[in-house]
Structure 1
């Protein structure tokens, strides 16, 4: 399906999707768009109140939306297994690993378990979550792990000797490295799933340049004033930033190990397949990151 209609994605009645960080930002629009396909969509969020606002907003646009909230804090690795135990489903058709934090203009912070907060939330938490969800994904006819990376993550310089940014903490650099770690994890996951003969696919997406100022208003995202030119020529809103993830979930022709991003310079436009190059194609780097992630979390993900 080289032509993908972002306004008329395939129907998905009977399927269940989990979107981490589904209460705000790009994750909200991923959840809204997936809800419009008839699927059951679970919003993974720490805050029940914010999830309720997001679900009410989705229902105002998709009146018959089938929605639920999963209380999920990816920075608390020890809590993730008990969180998954509350799901109450016998299968899961896809998880969209979207949630993330960028601590701009803040000092380095650690979680209660001693991990740097950005790396723990963006990468390690999803690593553990996918490990816990794998039996439910395997139980689906063709489960998918969709990992939302970032444009900056494609060119970051991940330092395997300083994954926790103890020596070199700069908020934006730490964020970019954590997103590259997510993407490397997703590609390595697919290689391991294929080697194991699994039916689960691991697919990567990134939103390009998605700005708050170009995003249509929602209760979870108030209208913002300000000039939109010339940014609108090169970038897009978070509603459009959700399109690659939605395609990665729904495209029947998607293959494991593929990456979807915006059509125009990888920054804006309808989603298309992108070549996997550079550090993202470094299988040795990905394998070493995998081993380090297992060491930090105890999760195996594939067995």
Structure 2
């Protein structure tokens, strides 16, 4: 890759798992990586691993569960006055069986995986628009059809279930990607917004979730179900990262498109364009989600309204 083709790409949740594997693959193709993660030791080690392999990478600490930290992170990035060619909103978590909240009081999965990235993308928009071909990739899941966005209870304060919290956050991420494309098109910004998902992939996040949720009998049943599914149709993190890499750096990417494994049930296989659930394509719900998210985070989008 020539220096003119090398893109500066920021990946959240890139200290391990899918995010790290995406970073390794992108760095091997000559792109310049900014790794962002709350785990400082692992993030610095990941950046060092890429540099030792001849790639270009730096690490910066980011806690997506804290809006004040997101603002400080973005302010530092904007002060560098460098173009940001692509942002991969990858960080996420498997929610605990008992409801937990972020520093700002949001349900943890929704707050980190969705609202945190909503705020981060808004604040990094000036850096993205310095690029001649800016791109935002929002990471969803093939479980997003199970999501239900109840605007009377977005934070699941009345009826919390960990699996529902996860699918809600991933449905929101997918709808955000499509709505961002609609708004970019309307404003004539030239930004490409897409979504991607890794299929069913083994990651350290899943390992941590299993360790945390072996206490109650019902929790152990859910862990057993996850393990069984992984054995039957799962794939490694390196393969799971391939749709993200395609979405972030591939040619002929469809605006507002959704990329994932094209094999059985989108669980594994060659990465390509896949079809999201009908509910994810509801523009009216996506527009309301955008407005609700703006109100919750207090983050404005001067370029988009």
What TM-score, normalized by structure 2, do the two folds share?
0.85
Q: Which residue of 1 aligns with 2:150?
A: 159
Match 2:93 to one of 101, 107, 112: 101
Distance in 2 between residues matched to 1:39 and 1:154, nearest whole Å: 33
Distance in 2 between residues matched to 1:212 and 1:78, nearest whole Å: 28
Q: SS in structure 1 opposite 2:269? A: strand
**CA pair 99-49 structure 1, distance change in 2 beyond 3 A:** same
Give the Å deviation of 1:12: 7.5
Distance in 2 between residues matched to 1:184 and 1:12, nearest whole Å: 32
Q: Which residue of 1 aligns with 2:168?
A: 177
Q: Which residue of 2 aligns with 1:56?
A: 48
**CA pair 17-43 structure 1, distance change in 2 beyond 3 A:** same
Distance in 1 between residues matched to 2:19 and 2:251, nearest whole Å: 21
Give the Å deviation of 1:164: 0.7
Distance in 1 between residues matched to 2:65 and 2:86, nearest whole Å: 21
**CA pair 154-284 structure 1, distance change in 2 beyond 3 A:** same
Higher alpha-carbon deviation: 184-193 or 152-161: 152-161
Q: Which residue of 2 aligns with 1:207?
A: 198
Describe how 1:71-220 pairs up with structure 2 within 5 A. 71-87=61-77, 88-105=80-97, 107-212=98-203
State the aligned residue count: 279
Contact 1:123 1:178 in 2 (8 A): yes
Give the Å deviation of 1:89: 4.3
Contact 1:12 1:37 in 2 (8 A): no
Q: Which residue of 2 aligns with 1:272?
A: 272
Give the Å deviation of 1:229: 9.8
Give the Å deviation of 1:277: 3.5
Distance in 2 between residues matched to 1:154 and 1:44, nearest whole Å: 28
Contact 2:95 2:165 in 1 (8 A): no
Give the Å deviation of 1:127: 0.4
Q: SS in structure 2 opposite 1:292? A: helix
What is the Cα-based RMSD across aligned positions, in Å?
2.3
Report Cα offsets for 1:137-163 as digits up to 9, x if no partner. 111011000001011113322222211
Distance in 2 between residues matched to 1:151 and 1:277, nearest whole Å: 9
Distance in 1 between residues matched to 2:4 and 2:156, nearest whole Å: 41
Contact 1:45 1:71 in 2 (8 A): yes
Q: Which residue of 2 aligns with 1:291?
A: 291
Q: Which residue of 1 aligns with 2:256?
A: 257
Distance in 1 between residues matched to 2:201 and 2:114, nearest whole Å: 21
Report Cα offsets for 1:203-239 as digits up to 9, x if no partner. 01011111249x9xxxxxxxxxxxx999566221111
Q: Which residue of 2 aligns with 1:35?
A: 27
What are structure 1's unaligned runs of at least 5 residues? 1-8, 216-227
Distance in 1 between residues matched to 2:91 and 2:233, nearest whole Å: 24
**CA pair 256-11 structure 1, distance change in 2 beyond 3 A:** farther
Give the Å deviation of 1:59: 3.9
Distance in 1 between residues matched to 2:203 and 2:298, nearest whole Å: 37
Contact 1:104 1:172 in 2 (8 A): no
